[in-house]
Amino acid sequence: MNLLHERDYKVISLDAARSLLFLTGNHRVFEINADLGDRLTEGIDSMTPGEWEEWRTLEAAGYLRNVHTPLLSRSRYADGANLAINVNLTGSCNLACTYCFADGGDYGRIRNAMDSHTVAFIFDFIRDHVTESGVVRFEFFGGEPLLNFARIQEIYAHAREFTEETGIRFLHRISTNLTVLPPGAPDLFRSGNFVVSVSIDGGSTTHDRNRPTKGGQGSFANILGNCFRVRAAGENITLVARMTVVSEQPSLIENVQELWSYDLFDYFQIYPGVTPASGSPFSSSCGSTGLVQLGEPQPRAATMNSSFLRQLSELLNEYPRLFQPGNRFRGVLEYERIAEMALAGKMALAFCSAGSTYYTVSPDDSVMPCHRLVGHPEFQLNRSGAPADLGDWTLPVDNHPVCSTCWARYVCGGGCRQENFVATGTLRGLNEETCTYQRKLVEGVVRTMAQAGNDYRAIPRQLDDLFISCGRPVVENGREGDERPLPEGLQHFRPLVTTSAEKERVLCKQN
């Protein structure tokens, strides 16, 4: 096996005595001695005879088999994703967020609220595009979607009738600032088992600075009160705190801990926010190839806060302690998805499923492959959802000349197209900051998995019905052996595995 560090595997430092070995080809993780880790960064030829003997034993047992390549060659996005419709209900928004990518909610061109004729089109679209799963996810979006609550009610009622007619099952998620809570909304959320994703950036100091009203007032107290009302409406509502990080004071861990203390949120989502880079206006003249090498200087429209990666590391160090019997917290969605990929043997077919099983429908009847790019009509699809060329959206990660050499490629899936576009002017040019963040995130989660022990690794993770990383299509990678006895006498390579018995023990403990 001609394996290369940073392409086929990654050595992750754990402490002075131990390192971790992450295998790109099947997402297995092994604990190894730090000395072996140092040598493996130079290549596998640096192993001692005893280490080679164990390596060959693991290889014969199937633990080192690269299972991704054959699966990718025959997989489609629809294998790992439900059809998702982002319903852009209105261009109106009542907040003035400092980092808004939507020009205040209307994307610079959405002038009206969605009406009933577009609802009819949405269900015709579903008939033509539903995947083999027979499941459709609605993502109610805006602007602020609850400012067009009547349309949400109409879509929900139509979906129930559509299920009776076709058998297609619907999942409902709303991304809302929750500054408004129309009469009947909590009951609808309960009736439809909604995932309610609330844009709330932390405690009052952080949130009110980042997300003031258009009159310049704070919005935190109002939103938190509405969160309590939604929580009281039903335990079957999944409440998500969607945090965007654009500064370092108060710190990320302080903001998470404050929101955690209210015992409201089932999950968190945490994103590095982007703000304009001073003295570096956006320019689309980034060349015609559509490819930007990592590290190559590029015109930049925006940048993440320089402290974000440090804050991410600090949060991950504290992360396992957030799982407490007295709190409903079940994890940060992005972190738990990465843990699931490593522990259960899964892979991403792409960064998201835009342009294949994920579409945005807006009040002007446009169909877009990405909700963040509604303000760019050049990406608009025709009414059938099939433009002349979707190659830049659906190019497999192994066909990208840079991503295909990255050790994290089957977790990341190739990078956010919109962030690439903002940074480089092309969908497939790489945003260096996003790449660095994705790699550091995988490293941090894998390190946390090892440090936290079996109780964390054995947590049941049922994430497929949640909207993680814009509907990233994830499928089982086909690896085998997690439930088989390990080869005896392993001293140099100690696999991190979680057995069914460990999972059952943790589940009983939680209940």
Whether the Cβ atoms of residue 218 and residue 212 lie closer than 8 Å to each other: yes
For every residue of 184-237, DSSP letters joined together read THHHHHHHTT-EEEEE--SSHHHHHHHS-BTTS---HHHHHHHHHHHHHH-TTS
Indicate whether 434 belongs to any domain.
no
How do residues 366-417 score in pLDDT, each as one tens digit? 899 889 889 888 888 876 655 546 777 878 888 889 999 999 999 999 888 8
229-238, 386-395, 417-426: segment of lowest average pLDDT: 386-395
CA–CA distance, 110 with 366 (Å, rounded to integer):
10
What's the confidence (pLDDT) of residue 269? 96
Range with the largest mean pLDDT of 236-240, 370-374, 416-420:
236-240
| Mean local confidence (pLDDT), 333-358 | 90
Q: How far is CA 466 from the centre of its chain?
A: 10
- How far is 74 from 475, CA to CA, in rounded Å? 12
What pLDDT is attached to residue 386? 55
CA-closest candidate to residue 262, choices 218, 221, 317, 234: 221
- For residues 451 and 444, what is the distance between their CA atoms, to the nearest angstrom? 10
The whole-model pTM stands at 0.90
**64, part of any domain:** no
Positive or negative CA dihedral for 496, 498, 501, 506? positive
Chain segment 243-298, per-residue pLDDT in tens? 999 888 999 999 999 999 999 999 999 998 866 554 333 332 222 222 333 334 44
Least Cα distance to 322 among 262, 256, 238, 264 occurs for: 256
**Most confident residue range from 104-113, 284-293, 435-444, 477-486:** 435-444
Q: Of 152, 129, 126, 123, nearest to 139 (Cα)?
A: 152
- For the record, the structure tokens of 273 come out as 């926010």
Q: In this structure, what CATH number is given to the domain that contains residue 317?
A: 3.20.20.70
pLDDT at 1: 60
Contact 220, 208 (CB under 8 A): yes
Q: Tell me, rounded to whole angstroms, the distance of Cα 394 from its chain centroid.
A: 17
Residues 480-508 pLDDT 10s = 767 677 788 899 999 987 766 555 555 56
Indicate the SS3 state at residue 324. Answer: coil
Q: Pull the structure tokens for residue 329.
A: 């917290």
Q: For 286-329, how does the pLDDT look when each residue is reduced to its tens digit (9 = 90+)?
A: 222 223 333 344 444 556 788 899 999 999 999 999 999 999 99
Residue 446 near residue 29 (C-beta atoms within 8 A): yes
What's residue 399's pLDDT? Answer: 86
Are 377 and 351 within 8 A, CB to CB? Answer: no
Q: Which residue has the higher pLDDT, 477 or 444?
A: 444
* CA 487 – CA 60 distance, rounded (Å): 10
Residue position matching structure tokens 């009203």: 213
The 8 Å CB, 24+ separation contacts for 480-487 are 480/62, 480/65, 481/61, 481/62, 481/63, 482/345, 484/61, 487/54, 487/57, 487/58, 487/61
Which helix (H) or strand (E) covers residue 157, if one does? helix 149-166
Among 1, 3, 9, 38, residue whose Cα is nearest residue 408: 9
User: What are the phi and psi torsion angles at 278 (to 5°)?
Assistant: -65, 140
User: Does residue 29 sit in helix, strand or coil?
Assistant: strand
206, pLDDT greater than 70: yes
Q: Mean pLDDT over all residues of the chain? A: 86
Closest residue by Cα to residue 330 from 474, 439, 225, 468 = 468
Is 232 a domain residue? yes
Q: Look at residue 78 and tell me whether its pLDDT is greater than 70.
A: no
Residue 24 in domain: no
User: How many CB atoms sit inside 10 A of residue 110's CB?
Assistant: 24
Out of 51-55, 288-292, 432-436, least confident range: 288-292
Look at residue 407 and tell me if it is in a domain.
Answer: no
Burial (0-12, 13-18, 19+ Cβ within 10 Å), 264: buried
> Per the omega criterion (within 30 degrees of 0), is the bond before 250 cis?
yes
The answer to the question of residue 495 being in a domain is no
pLDDT at residue 289, as a whole number: 25
Percent of the chain, pLDDT > 90? 55
Cβ contacts of 35 within 8 Å, gap of 6 or more: none
Q: How far apart are CA 30 and CA 99, in angstroms?
A: 40
Per the structure block, which two tokens stand in for 19? 């390192």
| Domain count for the chain | 1
Pull the structure tokens for residue 139: 């993502």
Q: What confidence tier does 470 reach under pLDDT thresholds 50, 70, 90? A: confident
Whether 32 maps to a domain, the answer reads no
Neighbour count for residue 328 (Cβ, 10 Å): 14
493 occurs within a structural domain:
no
pLDDT band at 57 (very low <50, low <70, confident <90, very high): very high
User: Domain range for residue 181?
Assistant: 77-275+302-379
Closest among 99, 107, 100, 89 to 380, alpha carbons compared: 107
Q: What backbone torsions phi and psi does residue 377 show, to the nearest 5 degrees?
A: -60, -20
DSSP, res 432: H
Q: What is the 3-state secondary structure (H, E, C) of 451-500?
A: HHCHHHHCCCCCCCCCCCCCCCCEEECCCCCCCCCCCCCCCCCEECCCCH
Whether 97 has a pLDDT exceeding 90, the answer reads no
Beta bridge partners, 137, equal: 84, 171
